[in-house]
A and B are shown apart, each in its own frame.
Chain A
Amino acid sequence: MLGLNKKDTYLLLLVAGLVIFAPFLLNPFPEGSAMAQFNAGYPDLMQRFVIFGVFAIGFNILFGLTGYLSFGHAAFLGVGSYAAMWMFKLFGMNVLPALGLSILTSGLFAVLIGYISLRRSGIYFSILTLAFAMMSYSLAYSVLATDMDGPDRQGLLQKGLTGGETGLQLTLEDPRIFGQQTAGEGNIPVPNIFGLEMRSAVEMNVGDWVFTFSVGYYFAALVMLLSFYLSIRIFRSPFGMMLRAIKSNQHRLNYTGLNAKPYMLAAFVVSGMYAGLAGGLMASMDPLAGPERMFWTASGEVVLMTILGGVGTLIGPVLGAGAIKYMENILSKINSDILHTWFAFLPDGLEDFVITLIYPFIGKGWHLTLGLIFMAVVIFLPGGLVEGGQRIARLFKRKKPSTKTPDGKTTPAE
């Protein structure tokens, strides 16, 4: 189907199913119950799952296929966000042109950075991309935020191109030449797709459960599915084969007379456009863009997601993005009161002891948990969650044949 083989079609359908039914799947606990804080089925969080999914899928096209570790991918995310915001400010609140401009701008930006950075490889490439991203961050934070309209401080550029520390925000004075300047009651209009507002949602009550279906989530999810489909096609295409060849042995590729540079640049630009798309989606869900989206820790986050899920696998980055964003939101919400209610069944002394043991890892300390999990994954499971799943699956499969055919081979002494 759609030019995919059977296995990939199943994978795509599986992801599509998960994404479509996410409001149900992520809300397994009834409202008001003790476990309700583990529910992740609210639109804000689900949107973040799919948006970071897009970001990680794009990063995986570069890192997973070619092995070039970019430590500055968040720059494209930020550029995409700013581009989308300017589209909202100048032309109107429809998200499609905004996303288009995000992809275009970040693509151009990626051509520029990629052309320079890709002249070096290995650690040098990582440092160069890091340097470019930090440069973009500093520029967005200071220079591009200075007043460009002159002394009157009234015009569109009164806070510069990027708005500096506070970020770029919508105002009532924005022209929005193709849309309405103000919504009813003098409010700033919200991003929409042909009139359907991103933040509008339908709630469904089934018994104690409350399921929320939001336009924003389903739009972002659709974009994510399209990106996922495109990434499968890239993985299976001759172009993808070429990128894998670069990863396994670039010298041999050069000796066979193939120039790897254009392929690398193409991969870098595609990956940057994915990041820009993710940035545009972020701005569409919440019309705000700030420089901290370009900071190098944001670049580090997408690396974490991709590694955690599984580098070079199709579904890995999506899983990793989901896992990290889930932990960020749910783990950081748990406080000591909640822990006390959980362990109330233990004797008092033991209860306090258990809570002191767990406390550093939750709430504000969730980064510690993240760091530990990440280290464990890099050390023991370089293939990420996907490899973990495969190992478990193999464990169950191997049982049968091993009983039938005893291993007759001898291992040579070393």
Chain B
Amino acid sequence: MEAIILQILNGLDKGSAYALIALGLTLIFGTLGVVNFAHGALFMIGAFCAVTLSRIISLSHTVIDDTQTDFLGNPLKVEVPYVYDWFGQATGDAIIDWAVPLSILFAIPVMIGIGVIMERGLIKHFYHRPHADQILVTFGLAIVLQEIIKYYYGANPIPTPAPSAFTGSFDFGALMGFDAGQIIYPYWRIIYFMFAALIIGGVFAFLQFTTFGMVVRAGMADRETVQLLGINIDRRFTLMFGIAAAVAGLAGVMYTPINSPNYHMGMDFLVLSFVVVVVGGMGSLPGAVLAGFLLGIVESFASMREVLDILPGINQIIIYLVAIIILLTRPRGLMGRKGVMED
């Protein structure tokens, strides 16, 4: 029982990342009908937003500290971050410590901007080209974005820690009446899951309960009729692309403490996210979220030692295996709509 709960918890954080990326992919596909291979790169750029912000707020200048001396007896030079000067030492430390959560505020405008520029500058011209061309041009874009990041940040992973308040682990077992220490789970992963749930809830609420969301949903169902009603649906779809980019970016920002960002992390997630989208059903938002969590949990169950003893290496291939089986038995995916990508 403990093992099962632990595996479900373990699956949730990876599942959250899959679900967030797949949600963004599906938003883009559902609104614009474009298969975006650069979506993983957006996830990666989001992660590097966190890196950038934590570098910016740790920017420092050197001052000579008379109270301390080095081994030669000269006054010691110390690096003082600018935030110390502005907010005092205690607040400054807290700001540096909370760099990753603060990056959320930084990443949202950046990612929406990148998304809008991408859509207006490139993707717009590919609506009427075949899907293969869309895949190829976004694949090329993904390579370019990835290489730009690699040029500026180097090829090595950059550790970006979570705030020190969240470094420990939470003992779930004690809470649920099991022995202490049976089910322990890092705080940050709980935060990540709750954050993902919040974002997903937010996106759904936005689509469901606002006028803007209603128009977007109408546009997803029948673009031409909405246009005939005199609504500028293109502008709304462009903004949706920005929002999808922001969702991917935020997933990346919050993932940095779990996995140090490197320039190819987006590509690693992209392949799996596509599998998630296809399993959930092309164009179905609930399907993408469901499949994301489902595959995350399935993957973590497959990594259990008991399973690995029977089927070695199954954790490496289980997601692909599930995808193949689902595609062959339920061609539209778990919750796919009729008539999407059927030709």
A175 at the interface (CB under 8 A from B): no
B131 at the interface (CB under 8 A from A): yes
6 pairs of residues in contact across A and B, judged by CB atoms under 8 Å? A120-B327, A123-B278, A123-B282, A135-B320, A379-B125, A382-B129
Q: Name A128's contact: one of B35, B136, B151, B327 (CB within 8 Å).
A: B327
A389 at the interface (CB under 8 A from B): no
Q: Which of A141, A297, A303, A379 has its CB near the most chain B CB atoms (within 10 A)?
A: A379
> In the complex, given contacts A67-B130, A371-B141, what are 17 additional A-B residue pairs having Cβ atoms less than 8 angstroms apart?
A123-B341, A126-B135, A128-B324, A132-B324, A135-B321, A138-B320, A141-B316, A142-B312, A142-B316, A303-B139, A360-B151, A368-B148, A371-B142, A372-B144, A375-B144, A379-B122, A379-B125
- Which parts of A117-141 form the interface with B (CB within 8 Å)? 119-124, 126-128, 130-132, 134-135, 138-139, 141
Query: With A135-B321, A379-B125 as given contacts, are A124 and B327 in contact (CB-CB < 8 Å)?
Result: yes
B114 to chain A, nearest CB (A): 16
Q: How far is the CA of A378 from the CA of B139 in the complex (A)?
A: 10
Q: How far is the CA of A371 from the CA of B146 in the complex (A)?
A: 10
Whether B136 lies near A378 (C-beta < 8 A) is: yes
A356 to chain B, nearest CB (A): 12
B282 partner residues in chain A, CB cutoff 8 A: 123
Q: Name A122's contact: one of B131, B141, B274, B316 (CB within 8 Å).
A: B131
Q: How far is the CA of A67 from the CA of B131 in the complex (A)?
A: 11
B93 partner residues in chain A, CB cutoff 8 A: none
Whether A131 lies near B320 (C-beta < 8 A) is: yes
Whether B147 lies near A142 (C-beta < 8 A) is: no
Q: Which residue of A lies closest to B314 (CB)?
A: A143
B 155-170 to A, binary, CB cutoff 8 A, 1 in contact else 0? 0000000000000000
B 328-340 to A, binary, CB cutoff 8 A, 1 in contact else 0? 1001000000000
Q: Which residue of B lies closest to A130 (CB)?
A: B271
B215 at the interface (CB under 8 A from A): no
Whether A143 lies near B313 (C-beta < 8 A) is: yes
Q: Which residue of A lies closest to B152 (CB)?
A: A360
By a beta-carbon cutoff of 8 Å, the part of chain A in contact with chain B is 67, 69, 116, 119-124, 126-128, 130-132, 134-135, 138-139, 141-143, 146, 251, 296-297, 300, 303, 307, 360, 365, 367-368, 370-372, 374-375, 378-379, 382
Whether B139 lies near A368 (C-beta < 8 A) is: no
- Which parts of B108-136 form the interface with A (CB within 8 Å)? 122, 125, 129-133, 135-136
Q: How far is the CA of A67 from the CA of B343 in the complex (A)?
A: 13
Q: How far is the CA of A379 from the CA of B124 in the complex (A)?
A: 12
- Which parts of B208-231 form the interface with A (CB within 8 Å)? none
Query: With A123-B131, A123-B341, A378-B137 as given contacts, are A370 and B327 in contact (CB-CB < 8 Å)?
Result: no
Whether B143 lies near A374 (C-beta < 8 A) is: yes
Q: Name A379's contact: one of B131, B135, B137, B139 (CB within 8 Å).
A: B137
A9 to chain B, nearest CB (A): 32
A205 to chain B, nearest CB (A): 40
Query: With A130-B271, A143-B316 as given contacts, are A365 and B278 in contact (CB-CB < 8 Å)?
Result: no
Q: How far is the CA of A375 from the CA of B41 in the complex (A)?
A: 15
Q: How far is the CA of A121 from the CA of B327 in the complex (A)?
A: 11
By a beta-carbon cutoff of 8 Å, the part of chain B in contact with chain A is 35, 122, 125, 129-133, 135-137, 139-144, 146-148, 150-151, 267, 271, 274-275, 278, 282, 312-313, 316-317, 320-321, 323-324, 327-328, 331, 341, 343
Whether A375 lies near B328 (C-beta < 8 A) is: no
Q: Which residue of A lies closest to B319 (CB)?
A: A131
Whether B278 lies near A378 (C-beta < 8 A) is: no
What are the 5 closest A-B residue pairs judged by CB atoms, nearest first? A143-B313, A371-B143, A138-B316, A368-B147, A375-B140
Q: Which residue of B lies closest to A63 (CB)?
A: B132
Q: Name A378's contact: one of B140, B146, B328, B331 (CB within 8 Å).
A: B140
Whether B125 lies near A139 (C-beta < 8 A) is: no
Q: Which residue of A lies closest to B133 (CB)?
A: A378
Whether A134 lies near B125 (C-beta < 8 A) is: no
Whether B278 lies near A124 (C-beta < 8 A) is: yes
A370 to chain B, nearest CB (A): 7
Q: Which of A123, A135, A296 has its CB near the most chain B CB atoms (within 10 A)?
A: A123
Q: How far is the CA of A321 from the CA of B102 in the complex (A)?
A: 46
Query: With A124-B341, A134-B271 as given contacts, are A143 and B312 in contact (CB-CB < 8 Å)?
Result: yes
Q: Name A371's contact: one of B147, B275, B312, B320 (CB within 8 Å).
A: B147
B282 to chain A, nearest CB (A): 7
Q: Which residue of B lies closest to A303 (CB)?
A: B136
Q: Which residue of B lies closest to A373 (CB)?
A: B140
A368 partner residues in chain B, CB cutoff 8 A: 143-144, 147-148, 151
B44 to chain A, nearest CB (A): 14
Whether B313 lies near A69 (C-beta < 8 A) is: no
Query: With A120-B327, A127-B274, A132-B324 as given contacts, are A367 and B147 in contact (CB-CB < 8 Å)?
Result: yes
Q: How far is the CA of A7 from the CA of B130 in the complex (A)?
A: 31
B321 partner residues in chain A, CB cutoff 8 A: 135
B131 to chain A, nearest CB (A): 6
Q: Name B331's contact: one of A69, A120, A382 (CB within 8 Å).
A: A120
Q: How far is the CA of A370 from the CA of B150 in the complex (A)?
A: 14
Whether A134 lies near B320 (C-beta < 8 A) is: yes
B323 to chain A, nearest CB (A): 5
A269 to chain B, nearest CB (A): 19
B314 to chain A, nearest CB (A): 8
Whether B328 lies near A127 (C-beta < 8 A) is: no
A127 partner residues in chain B, CB cutoff 8 A: 274-275, 278, 323, 327
Q: How far is the CA of A98 from the CA of B133 in the complex (A)?
A: 37
A139 partner residues in chain B, CB cutoff 8 A: 313, 316-317
Q: Which of A120, A131, A379 has its CB near the most chain B CB atoms (within 10 A)?
A: A131
A145 to chain B, nearest CB (A): 9
Q: Which of B129, B147, B278 has its CB near the most chain A CB atoms (within 10 A)?
A: B147
Whether A123 lies near B35 (C-beta < 8 A) is: yes
B130 partner residues in chain A, CB cutoff 8 A: 67
Q: How far is the CA of A67 from the CA of B129 in the complex (A)?
A: 13
A367 partner residues in chain B, CB cutoff 8 A: 143, 146-147
A201 to chain B, nearest CB (A): 35
B271 partner residues in chain A, CB cutoff 8 A: 130, 134, 296
Whether A375 lies near B35 (C-beta < 8 A) is: no
Q: Name B133's contact: one of A119, A128, A296, A382 (CB within 8 Å).
A: A382
B185 to chain A, nearest CB (A): 27
Q: How far is the CA of A119 from the CA of B131 in the complex (A)?
A: 18
A30 to chain B, nearest CB (A): 34
A160 to chain B, nearest CB (A): 11
Whether A132 lies near B140 (C-beta < 8 A) is: no
B312 partner residues in chain A, CB cutoff 8 A: 142-143, 146
